[in-house]
Chain A
Amino acid sequence: MREPTAGARAAGRKMAGVRLLSLDTSSVVSVALLEVSDDAEPVIVSDALGTDTHRHAEDLVPAVRDALAAAGWERPDAILVGEGPGPFTGLRVGLASADVLAFAWGVPVFGLCSLDGLARQLAPAAGGEFIAALDARRKELYWGRYDATGRPLGGPQVGAVSTLPAGLPVAGAGVRAREAELSAAGTPVVAGTEDTPVSAAHLALAWLAAGRPEHAPVARYLRESDAVAPASLAPSAGGVK
Chain B
Amino acid sequence: MSASEPLVLGIESSCDETGVGVVRGTELLANAVASSMEEHVRFGGVIPEIASRAHLEALVPTLRQALDTAGVTMDDVDAIAVTTGPGLAGALMVGVAGAKALALATGKPLYAVNHLVAHVGVGVLEGGELPESLGALLVSGGHTEILRVGSLTGDVELLGSTIDDAAGEAYDKVARLLGLSYPGGPVIDMLAAEGNPKAIRFPRGLTLGKFMGTAEEPGPHRYDFSFSGLKTAVARYVEDCRARGVEVPVADVAASFQEAVVDVITKKAVLASQEHGLRNLLLGGGVAANSRLRALLAARCASAGIGLRIPRPGLCTDNGAMIAALGSQLVSAGVEPTGTEFGTDTGLPPSIVSLPAA
Contacts and interface: CB of A to CB of B under 8 A. Distances in A.
Given A62-B341, A233-B43, A104 B93 contact: no
Interface in A70-87: 75
A215 interface: no
Interface string A207-241: 00000000000010100011111101100011111
A221 B178 contact: no
A90 B58 CA distance: 18
Interface residues of B, number: 46
A95 B94 CA distance: 9
Interface string B313-347: 00000000000000000000000000011111000
B101 A88 contact: no
Contact of A96 (B44, B101, B340, B342): B101
B105 A104 contact: yes
A55 B74 CA distance: 28
A225 B176 contact: no
B56 A225 contact: no
A192 to B, nearest CB: 33
A92 B49 contact: no
Interface in B64-95: 64, 74, 89-90, 93-94
Contacts of A239: 178-180
Contacts of A55: 343
A64 interface: yes
Most chain B CB within 10 A, of A61, A75, A94, A104, is at A61
Contact of A65 (B180, B248, B340): B340
Interface string B177-216: 1111000000000000000000000000000000000000
Interface residue tally on A, bucketed by range: 35 or more
A38 interface: no
Per DSSP, are chain B's interface residues mostly helix, strand or loop, or mixed?
Answer: helix
B47 interface: yes
Given A61-B101, A97-B98, A88 B342 contact: no
A238 B179 contact: yes
Contacts of A97: 97-98, 100-101
A210 B178 CA distance: 56
7 contacts: A88-B53, A92-B94, A96-B97, A97-B98, A100-B105, A104-B106, A221-B53
Interface of A: 55-58, 60-62, 64-65, 75, 88-89, 92-101, 103-105, 219, 221, 225-230, 232-233, 237-241
Given A89-B52, A92-B90, A225-B49, 15 more contacts: A56-B93, A89-B90, A92-B97, A93-B94, A94-B97, A95-B56, A96-B59, A99-B98, A103-B63, A103-B64, A221-B53, A229-B44, A233-B176, A237-B179, A241-B180
